Amino acid sequence: MKNILIINGHQKYGSSSGKLNQTLMDSMVSLLEKKNNIQTTIIQNGYSIEEEQQKFLWADIIIYQTPVYWFSVPGLFKTYMDEIYAYGLFFKGADQYGSGGLLTGKKYMFSTTWNAPKEAFNDPTQFFKGNNLEEAVSHLHRVQEFIGMQPLKSFACYDVVKNSNIDQFVYELDVHLEEVLNF
């Protein structure tokens, strides 16, 4: 039985109410709570810095459920990281820059929602110049590496504005979680 923290990083943006990200988070909780201890955070609903830090220390696995806005996490989610990822608790100074992460032994996974179509990835003629999903979010991986965590394979829903198929997205996420978490 693992301790899993699931964080919903959605931030209301224009007409985006966050239904898809909340649905994906709810599906994760439903699937994973059968064999794991689960805690959740919905950043948009507010949080206590100290409570969030304790959740990270408690967790074996952190799952970030987030939309991708302008090729990164929403501003509120970035503020969350700025406030929660504390020196002396999540990382410390080290002789070699980036080697002072204190959350070693913990794993994380990004589950992201994109307006970009799947075809925009892995094709050198498309926008991401042949980069795959992991390369497209490498800057987000670097943050987690800095605090000592190890990545699990990321998941993504593509083309969510024009071709949103929530039932298919939930199914694909369930398959991904079963594969990545081996349960």
pLDDT tens digits, one per residue of 20-32: 999 999 999 999 9
What confidence category does residue 100 fall into, taking pLDDT thresholds of 50, 70 and 90?
very high
For domain 3-181, the CATH class is: alpha beta
Q: What is the pLDDT of residues 107-128, one digit of tens each?
A: 999 999 989 888 988 889 988 8
Average pLDDT over residues 138-150: 95
Longest dimension (CA), the chain: 49
CA 107 to chain centroid:
11
CA pair distance 111, 176, nearest whole angstrom = 10
Residue ranges covered by each domain of the chain: 3-181
- pLDDT of amino acid 117: 82
* Average pLDDT in the chain: 92
Q: Say how far apart CA 56 and CA 125 lie, in whole Å.
A: 40
Task: List, in sequence order, every beta strand (DSSP E) within the chain.
Answer: 3-8, 37-42, 61-67, 107-113, 150-151, 155-157
Give the integer Cα–Cα distance in Å for 37 and 145: 24
Least confident of 55-59, 76-80, 179-183: 179-183
Lowest mean pLDDT among 1-15, 33-47, 124-138: 124-138
Report, as an integer, the average pLDDT of 152-175.
93
**Residue count of the chain:** 183
Token pair recorded at residue 161:
């504005």
